[in-house]
Structure 1
Amino acid sequence: MENSAKQNDVYAADGDTRRKILLILLERAPVIASDIAEQLQLSTAGVRRHLDNLVEDHLAEAVSPRQNPYEPKMRGRPAKTYRLTDKGRSIFGHGYDSLAVAALTTLREVGGDDAVRTFAKKRIHDIVEGVAPANTSEKSIEDTAKSLVEAFSNHGYAATVDAVGNGLQICQHHCPISTVAAEFPELCEAEHQAVSKLLGQHTQPLATIADGHGICTTNIPLTPIKHS
């Protein structure tokens, strides 16, 4: 009986670690095993075992790391990076995709494209409601970007913001409406417009989950918009 109880504890611990790794892959991918190990304070070998199991279960996949052109090339084989598969992302939910697509299709048939755009603007307004617009200072822009990331994360987007080059980069590691957005790009367009307006900056969408990428990435050069 005692051995059985200990075994169950091990299985429970494994399940908890597995969930934590899945969440890190959702929020920070692509990521290497040693970075996950450092964040969870586990051995790299133990994390690799979990990653191998996730790959075997088709929940994660190993991808070739991208070489930063501004960094010197390192000798030796680069470490594997990992990210979630579509199956892995589905664990975190995609909302009522079929119902939403059907509803928006009907809305377009009844009210046309303008009706869909109006819906998209209302939806993003509800998500970012309460986020204070930035002024022209970089500190204010960074604070607004952090507030946007928090608002998106509260709605299931697992968003992060990082300083990149001469600007900021907002990444959404999960999109709860990706299937719907693939058919109705007005949803993404309204989102980019809202972000640009609140930050007072031009935005450069680099990739979207709706288009088949593993992450939604928006670049924000810290250059104020000049109004004519």
Structure 2
Amino acid sequence: MINEVAENEKAIRILKTRGPLPLQEIAADLKITTEGARFQLLKLANEGLVQATTVAKGRGRPQQIWSLTAAGNARFPDRHQELSLKLLQSMREILGAEGFRTVLEANEKAGVRQYSQEMSDAADLESKVRALTDIRNREGYMAEYTKTPEGFLLVENHCPIYVAAKDCNGLCGSELAIFQAVLGAAVTVTRAEHILSGSRRCAYLIQPQE
């Protein structure tokens, strides 16, 4: 499965899901000692999968923060990325800009139909957000949501279509439109973080309209 990593590489999944972390938090998530966590991280660092940077915070002792390298991120590969990119490029060349836009719109409508069907049993907003999160998880986005004072924050820690989305910004726009359509006109969906803009994840703020 796309979200699985080897037993001795669980720190990679933790850093992918939670972002850069100090040693103590990684050890707590791994449920091992800090020395045990340090041993694992140093091993992963030697393999080029993680890296540490020193961050100074106030007058206290500088803290070492661990994060994934590009190779570490590659442990969560894009699905069929090369084929998807070639297909997108071919469609754009053959159909032209207008025809390609029509294809994107058709794909968006299909996505709305599929998601709406899978979310049909969700009655309230949180149930809808939970169902949407489950769908995105099955599609490989490592999704999770939290309730906030403003509404809900849907986070996607991985983008399995990153290469295709980077070549075609319309894909990201379609995803946002699909979320808005299936969650309903009574809510506003805003992209708060975007991997293509340099963030480590995509995040969507889902707010009920007053």
Bin for the TM-score computed over the shorter chain: 0.7 to 0.9
**Structure 1 unpaired stretches of 5+:** 1-14, 66-72
Normalised to the residue count of structure 2, the TM-score between the two structures is 0.79
CA-atom RMSD, angstroms? 2.8
**Structure 2 unpaired stretches of 5+:** 1-5
Whether the aligned pair in 1 keeps the contact of 2:108 and 2:178 (CA below 8 Å) is no
Q: Residue 47 and residue 35 in structure 1: after superposition, are their counterparts in 2 closer, same or farther (change >3 A)?
A: same
Task: Provide the C-alpha distance between the structure 1 equivalents of 2:68 and 2:13, rounded to a whole number of angstroms.
Answer: 9
Greater than 6 Å deviation, 4+ residue runs: none
Task: Provide the C-alpha distance between the structure 2 equivalents of 1:196 and 1:64, rounded to a whole number of angstroms.
Answer: 40
Matched, 1:204 2:190: yes
Normalised to the residue count of structure 1, the TM-score between the two structures is 0.74
- The residue type paired with residue 194 of structure 2 is T
Matched, 1:130 2:107: no
Matched, 1:194 2:182: no
Identity %: 26
Whether the aligned pair in 1 keeps the contact of 2:122 and 2:131 (CA below 8 Å) is no
Task: Provide the C-alpha distance between the structure 2 equivalents of 1:162 and 1:63, rounded to a whole number of angstroms.
Answer: 28
- The residue type paired with residue 119 of structure 2 is V
Whether the aligned pair in 2 keeps the contact of 1:133 and 1:198 (CA below 8 Å) is no
Matched, 1:214 2:200: yes
Task: Provide the C-alpha distance between the structure 2 equivalents of 1:141 and 1:89, rounded to a whole number of angstroms.
Answer: 32
Q: Residue 163 and residue 52 in structure 1: after superposition, are their counterparts in 2 closer, same or farther (change >3 A)?
A: farther
Q: 1:36-55 counterparts in 2 under 5 A?
A: 36-55=26-45
- The residue type paired with residue 205 of structure 1 is R
Match in the other structure for 1:70: none
Question: Greater Rg, structure 1 or structure 2?
Answer: 1
Whether the aligned pair in 2 keeps the contact of 1:134 and 1:198 (CA below 8 Å) is no
Q: 1:26-65 counterparts in 2 under 5 A?
A: 26-62=16-52
Residues paired across the two proteins, number: 198
Q: 1:2-13 counterparts in 2 under 5 A?
A: none
- The residue type paired with residue 223 of structure 1 is P
The secondary structure found in structure 2 opposite 1:99 is helix
